[in-house]
Each structure stands twice: as structure tokens, then as C-alpha cells.
Amino acid sequence: MSDAVKPTWPRWALFFAGAAALSAIPFGLAFSHALKGAAMLVAMGVWFVAYMAYVFVGSSRLKAGRIGPAMRRYRRRLAGAMLAYCVALMGSLALLRGGALTGPLLWIVAAAPAIPILGVLVVMGLYLKEEPDEFERAVHVEAMLWGLGVVLALTTVWGFLSNAQVVPAPPLFLVFPLFCLAWGVSQPLIRRRYQ
Amino acid sequence: MKNRLKVLRAERDWSQADLADKLQVSRQTINALETGKYDPSLPLAFRIARLFEQPIEAIFQDEA
């Protein structure tokens, strides 16, 4: 039997090109001012769900047969957390828009979108705990360290730049997506080293 | 660490996927082990040794 692996990078490239095109939609909507207020919020909600569906279905087809039970559970939990995030974010933005909230309620509503994101951290931890394949685990841990390294490097440089008022203060809510991006990008590079 | 996994597997006419199934790991793990770039944990090394019915040091060679 052959152990040759068909090159999958052209299909991955197509997948990422599609994801990049989908990512451009919210910027297009925001800059064109085509939609306003509640319509914009609903459009962003629809876009978010469509984007998630594209990423989950696309990656599961590309990884066909290579998704173990622990990874499947991780992906299901992640999808749930991301949907909860979408709902919490839209609800929070809608409630904050009125500007009528004060005191502890304002704090809770403002921080609500962070709760599902903290859930994602728990989901990541559960995956590492449940993954039976030690090599997979090692790749993920190493990729997380790269994610952490990228986040620390960028935010430290940005922090000093903003101290000197060369650039505005870093948007801290973007630290987590940056970590996820660096984690995801480093994975294929780490795997290549073991081939 | 150098190892004889590829030879042992070829002797039994198993594919990487067959060996992966028998050891309950992913095919990528077998690939990383065979290239010698990933060293297995002690429990996995024992599982491999039991599967091929050979002592660990007959499968893995420490270059020191």
C-alpha cells in the first residue's frame, strides 16, 4: 500500500482565499455605509454565522478522515462557543447602543461577549486533556507557544510605541484573535518539521 | 532518535495507516516517528515494542 500523501496545499490555498474574501465583506459594509443601525447588526450576525459555517464545513472536508473523536468534540464545542459569542456580542452592542445602562448592569452587559471567549479557553484546555494522540498534543502545545510568543512580542512593541504616543493604545480585545491566528498559522509549519 | 519502524512495518507489509490503527495514533504520528524527528513517550514506545514483539532497544537506537 502506498503511503504517498497527495498535496493538499492548493485546496487549502483556495479555502483561505475564500475565507479572506468573506472577511472583506464586513469592511465593505462598514465603509460603504450601505446599512445602518439595527440592519447593520443583523447583517453582521448573518455574516458571522455564514463565516463560521464556511470555516467549519470547509476545514472538515479538507481534513476528511483525519479528525479524531477528541478533535470532533473540540470543534463542536468551539462552534457552540462561537455562536454564543455572536449572540452575546450582538445583544451587548444593541443594549449598549441605547446608552441607558449604568452601574453593575452596564459592567455585566459590556463584559458579556468576553464570557464565551473565556469558554473557548476552557474548550482548548479540554481538547489538550482529551486528545489521546501524543504527537497531536505536542504539535498543539508548540503551536500555542508560538501563538503566545507572537502576542507577547507584538503587544510589548505596541505597548512601548503607545507609551511614547507614537500609535494609539492597543485594542486589547484583539489579543485573543491574534493568539488564535498565530496558533493556526504556526501549526502547518510545525508539522512540516516532522515530515 | 533513529529507529527501525519502517523496516519492521515493511516486513509485515503494513501501511502507515495500518500501523497507526494498531497503535491507536494518527498516521501523521507514525510518519513523524519514522523520520526519527519525533521521539515517542515511554508508554507509546512500550506499545510499539509489544506490537512488534521486540525489546525497545531493538527498535530504537540511541546514537550516543
Report CB contact under 8 Å: A134, B25.
yes
Domain borders along chain B are: 2-59
Q: What is the DSSP letter of B37?
A: S
Residues of A whose CB is below 8 A from B35: 194-195
Residue from B24, B31, B34, B48 to probe the interface with A (highest A Cβ count within 10 Å): B31
Please give the single-letter amino acid code of residue B1. M
B30 → chain A, closest CA residue: A135
| Cell numbers linked to A7 | 498535496
Interface pTM, i.e. ipTM? 0.88
Query: For every residue of A161-173, which 3-state class applies, written as one string?
Result: HHHCCCCCCCCHH
Query: How many residues would you count in chain B?
Result: 64
Most trustworthy range by pLDDT among A18-27, A42-51, B37-46: B37-46
Q: What is the pLDDT of residue A65?
A: 67
At B40, give phi and psi (nearest 5°): -70, 160
- Using only C-alpha atoms, chain B has a radius of gyration, in whole angstroms, of 11
pLDDT digits (tens, 9 = 90+) for A42-94: 888 888 889 888 988 888 888 776 788 899 999 999 999 999 999 999 899 88
CATH number of B2-59: 1.10.260.40
d(CA A106, CA A145): 35
Is residue A97 predicted with pLDDT exceeding 90? no
Q: Angle, to 10 degrees, between the axis of helix A134-163 and the axis of helix A114-130?
A: 150
CB-based contacts of B52, cutoff 8 Å, min separation 6? B8, B59
pLDDT digits (tens, 9 = 90+) for A125-160: 999 999 999 999 999 999 999 999 999 999 999 999
Helical ranges in chain A per DSSP H: 9-32, 37-62, 69-98, 103-111, 114-130, 134-163, 175-193
Report CB contact under 8 Å: A133, B29.
yes
Report CB contact under 8 Å: B41, A191.
no
Report CB contact under 8 Å: A195, B35.
yes
Q: What is the pLDDT of residue A5?
A: 55
Residues of A whose CB is below 8 A from B37: 193-195
Q: What is the pLDDT of residue A4?
A: 52
Of residues A91 and A37, the one with the higher pLDDT is A91
For residue A111, what are the CA distances in angstroms to A106, A116, B19, B53?
8, 10, 49, 58
pLDDT band per the 50, 70, 90 thresholds, residue A2:
very low
pLDDT band per the 50, 70, 90 thresholds, residue A38:
confident
Q: What is the pLDDT of residue A1?
A: 42
Among A3, A133, A193, the residue with its CB nearest the CB of B26 is A133
Least confident of A98-107, A114-123, B39-48: A98-107
pLDDT band per the 50, 70, 90 thresholds, residue B64:
low
Q: Which residues 2-31 on chain B approach chain A with CB closer than 8 angstroms?
A: 15-18, 24-29, 31
Q: Confirm if B43 and B36 have CB atoms less than 8 A apart.
A: no
If you average pLDDT over residues B42-54, what whole number do you get?
A: 95
Query: Distance, in angstroms, between B57 CA and closest chain A CA?
Result: 21
Report CB contact under 8 Å: A2, B15.
yes
If you average pLDDT over residues A6-14, what whole number do you get?
A: 79
Q: Confirm if A186 and A180 have CB atoms less than 8 A apart.
A: no
pLDDT band per the 50, 70, 90 thresholds, residue B5:
very high
